[in-house]
């Protein structure tokens, strides 16, 4: 049985992996400097897949759906081709903005290289506590972003999303009771949207006590059961909602492995 599909992976790559670039540029001086002073947009259009635009504005990044209004447009004939670009095995050719290709080579690719280092760090990288912290917070952004993509696009994920009632699921990493980073998954009519901000009105919540406990679960070296028993992972609210979000989180691990 096939565990994952390329189309869903393309949505994850665009809206969760590249979708973490705004957070990367907020957290990393090096990343921000890579695109400082640049005001340009890159549209990514995947046949039978996602379409979105990365907007760069003097060191800040935002991601929107659709790619009709962009300075550089990168078309891909299939989800596999786009996923190949993310893996570094496919070189995209712009259909628009070819004269601006210098931004792709001198700014965008170096920026994604920095992102890759944080998301797939070496053991030596993780010995630096500041790097470890930033890497974990970026992983949180990717994982929470991927929940919505899998809940909407993946066959198994859609089955779980079909049981999620309308409302917000708050996910957060806290320290001494205060949120370090948070997001909420908005469920409406069994479609999911990840909003990278906190919410005062969650129907359910999932809170990690500390960056290291969250990282342990992300890396698969700690179990959610153990963290719950130790009081390091707090769950609350509607159990059925949390149960189905957890099922989708299991799928996230398959796609991001």
- Residue 11 belongs to domain spanning: 6-119
Q: CA 233, CA 146: separation in Å to the nearest integer?
A: 20
Place of tokens 């129907």: 203
Q: Residue 1 domain-assigned?
A: no
CATH assignment of the domain containing 249: 3.30.1050.10
The answer on 92 and 33 residing in a single domain is: yes
- Once rounded to an integer, what is the mean pLDDT over residues 139-159? 98
Whether residue 188 has pLDDT greater than 80: yes
**What percent of the chain clears pLDDT 70, i.e. is strictly above it?**
99
> CB neighbours (10 Å) of residue 225?
9
- Once rounded to an integer, what is the mean pLDDT over residues 65-82? 96
Q: Using pLDDT thresholds of 50, 70 and 90, give the confidence band for residue 3.
A: confident
Q: Residue 246 domain-assigned?
A: yes
Question: Rounded to the nearest 10 degrees, what angle do helices 129-153 and 211-218 cross at?
Answer: 50
- Once rounded to an integer, what is the mean pLDDT over residues 35-44? 98
Place of tokens 């989180």: 249
Instruction: Identify each DSSP E strand in 150-201 by its residue range.
Output: 167-175, 178-188, 191-195
Question: Rounded to the nearest 10 degrees, what angle do helices 239-256 and 129-153 cross at?
Answer: 110
Identify the H or E element spanning 40: strand 39-46
Q: CA 254, CA 257: separation in Å to the nearest integer?
A: 5
Q: What is the pLDDT of residues 204-224, one digit of tens each?
A: 999 999 999 999 999 989 888
Whether residue 142 has pLDDT greater than 80: yes
- Once rounded to an integer, what is the mean pLDDT over residues 104-123? 96
- Once rounded to an integer, what is the mean pLDDT over residues 22-46? 98
Whether residue 48 has pLDDT greater than 50: yes
The whole-chain average pLDDT of the chain stands at 95
The answer on 106 and 150 residing in a single domain is: no
pLDDT in the model for residue 177: 86
- Once rounded to an integer, what is the mean pLDDT over residues 47-72? 96
The answer on 158 and 55 residing in a single domain is: no
- Looking at the structure of the chain, the number of domains it has is 2
The answer on 79 and 137 residing in a single domain is: no
Whether residue 1 has pLDDT greater than 90: no
**For residue 211, what are its two tokens?**
């960056």
pLDDT in the model for residue 2: 62
């Amino acid at each position: 049985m096939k565990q994952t599909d390329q189309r869903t992976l393309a949505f994850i790559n665009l809206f969760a992996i590249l979708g973490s670039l705004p957070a990367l540029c907020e957290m990393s001086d090096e990343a921000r400097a890579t695109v400082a002073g640049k005001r340009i947009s890159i549209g990514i259009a995947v046949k039978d897949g996602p379409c979105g635009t990365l907007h760069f504005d003097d060191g800040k990044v935002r991601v929107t759906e659709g790619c009709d209004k962009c300075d550089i447009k990168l078309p891909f004939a299939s989800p596999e081709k786009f996923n190949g670009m993310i893996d570094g095995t496919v070189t995209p050719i712009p259909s628009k903005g070819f004269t601006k290709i210098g931004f792709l080579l001198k700014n965008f690719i170096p920026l994604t290289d920095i992102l890759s280092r944080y998301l797939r760090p070496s053991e030596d990288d993780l010995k630096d506590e500041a790097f470890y912290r930033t890497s974990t917070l970026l992983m949180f952004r990717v994982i929470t972003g991927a929940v919505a993509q899998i809940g909407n696009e993946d066959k198994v994920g859609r089955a779980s999303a079909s049981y999620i009632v309308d409302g917000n699921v708050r996910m957060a990493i806290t320290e001494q009771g205060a949120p370090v980073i948070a997001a909420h998954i908005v469920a409406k009519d069994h479609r999911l949207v990840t909003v990278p901000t906190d919410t005062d009105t969650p129907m359910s919540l999932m809170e990690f006590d500390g960056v290291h406990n969250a990282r342990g679960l992300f890396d698969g070296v700690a179990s959610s059961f153990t963290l719950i028993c130790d009081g390091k992972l707090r769950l609350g609210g509607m159990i059925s909602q949390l149960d189905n979000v957890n099922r989708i989180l299991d799928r996230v691990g398959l796609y991001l492995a």
